[in-house]
Amino acid sequence: MIFQKRPLGLALVSCFLCWGLAAKSKEVVLGEKAYSKGAFDTARKHFQEAIDNGDESGDPHLYIGLILESRRQYAESIQHFRAAAERPMQKKFKKVAYWKMAILCRQAKLYGESLRYVDRLQDMGEKSELFEKIRAEAGNYQGPVAPTAGGATNAHLKKALALEKEFKEREEKDDDEAAELMRSIIAAYKSAIAEDARLKDYRWKIAQYYEKLKEPREAQSIYRQIWENSGDPSAAFKLGAAARRMGDYTGALKYFAAALEKPIEDPQLKFYIRLNAAQSHYGLAHYPESFAHAKVARRIAGDLEVKKKTALSLKRIYCLGAISVNEIDEEYCKFNKKEESPVFLNLIAMKRGLAEKNNDKAAGFAAKIYEKEAIDIDENEATMPAYAMSDLPVAIGVLFNAERYRAVLELTERFRKNLQGMKDFSGWRGVSFFALKEYGSALIEFDKIKNPTTSQMNLHLMSMAHLGDWAGIKTKGTVYLKNAKARPKLEANFRKLKLYAPLRQDKDFETWLKAATEPATPTP
């Protein structure tokens, strides 16, 4: 029978793959049927059609890799096993792809890549004597080029691998000795690469150890080298994510855009680039662009197994963006009060009020945002995503329009450092400086407003009075009193407020006020 002619490993993997995989494309189902009958050419055709039609799972690549491997087309099979390993599949099938990559890359002397998959297998709990053999071979490998300095390169690599093994055995211990061990590993890898450029793949290891040491600048320096030398989109993502965490949203978006210009096979990488791009755009108050990236991230996430924390981050940015552009998904955008902080819930409720054009409702929730500190969601005690700081000027504008100046003062004082570089909505910055009794700064901001409201005119003039600029009040007051809507309130304040007593003592006060409040004479 034809089943007896198939390699045993191929048959076992086939059985595993046919069990319980949901939502398969039509082409994959046809390919599996042909594969189970031993019609490998027909099966390969169907699997290739699945790939061409946009199937983003790892299944068709894994099948094609198995077919090519059975025909001893090892170089071609590696390409498909690599693609399968970086795509969504059930955990047991991921292990198959990782094992194939570890073994076949070892045979091809691609030790850097083989060891990467060995690490992944160990992270999944796999154990094998083969792992140490691969490490030993990598340390002793001379390559096609004659070794330099009497084989010193291999000695450095061998040392790095030995130290790494020691570190893995004590990795759970967070102490000075572990940190020193990591620095020794970094130094050994750097020495190996310096003497043999063929080992440059180990720069990823160096960067990862810098991250473990919590030395982001050094890690970014290595990722930048990788990006500039190879154009690897994973390195661009790392650089962009680091920039986003530091609040450099513009810089982050440059890296994310550059990464998306590259061909990316790994849907997980695509997902994280889109998620981070959505957060960065939101941090710049680019709401339509943020929502566009969040929609793509949500679609990709449907085919991935993401952690609960990541799924919640996606939900936050998606729903904030959706509300901002009036495309709210009520069913998806329900938040659990036990999982979310009052700060975030008040923020999103404020944006709902704005979307509903209910300013009183929006102001009620805006006034509550200052009740607790806003901390980046990546931190353990997070209360609000850092990128949502872009909504604080909106909140201040809402409160200003509702004339809730005490709330403006409290909100501004709490988030002052974060607000300095933000856009000004509704002239909130001038009001905030006034509330903080920084009248000089308030004047500068009020002067920038082209069409001030009655309240802004009043506060502008009061700021001048606090600074004793009586001549400035007469000049600016003459302009403001020509506004029919503002005139009654401003005139009443000039006559009654204690603040303007020195102005009323001027012998020309009544003459000036009468001239300023007289309606303009119509032109004949």
The Cα 386–Cα 399 span in angstroms is 21
| 219 CB-contact burial (10 Å; exposed 0-12 / middle 13-18 / buried 19+) | buried
pLDDT for the residue numbered 405: 79
Task: Tell me the two tokens of residue 271.
Answer: 């997902």
pLDDT tens per residue, range 83-102:
888 887 778 888 888 888 88
The Cα 370–Cα 350 span in angstroms is 13
The Cα 263–Cα 208 span in angstroms is 23
The Cα 87–Cα 82 span in angstroms is 9
For CATH 1.25.40.10, the residue range(s) in the chain are 1-136
Report which of 13, 59, 15, 26 is spatially closest to residue 303, judged by C-alpha positions. Answer: 59
CA angle, 26 as apex, 20 and 32 as ends, to 5°?
55
Residues of the chain with pLDDT under 50: 1-22, 142, 144-153, 374-382, 523-524
HSE on the CB side for 238, CA within 13 Å? Answer: 23
Name the CATH code of domain 152-230 (choices 1.10.10, 2.60.40, 1.25.40, 3.30.160): 1.25.40
Is the pTM here over 0.75, yes or no?
A: no
Task: Tell me the two tokens of residue 205.
Answer: 């290891």
Q: Which CATH superfamily is domain 1-136 in?
A: Tetratricopeptide repeat domain (1.25.40.10)
Contact 17, 62 (CB under 8 A): yes
Report which of 43, 62, 51 is spatially closest to residue 25, judged by C-alpha positions. Answer: 51
Contact 249, 281 (CB under 8 A): yes
pLDDT for the residue numbered 350: 92
pLDDT for the residue numbered 519: 66
Task: Tell me the two tokens of residue 307.
Answer: 């952690």
Contact 274, 300 (CB under 8 A): yes
Q: How many CB atoms lie within 10 A of CB 117?
A: 23
Beta carbons within 8 Å of 145's beta carbon, 6+ residues apart: 198
CA angle, 304 as apex, 315 and 267 as ends, to 5°?
105
Report which of 154, 152, 160, 155 is spatially closest to residue 142, judged by C-alpha positions. Answer: 154
pLDDT for the residue numbered 16: 44
Q: How many CB atoms lie within 10 A of CB 426?
A: 18
Task: Tell me the two tokens of residue 341.
Answer: 């902080």
Contact 354, 399 (CB under 8 A): no
pLDDT for the residue numbered 195: 79
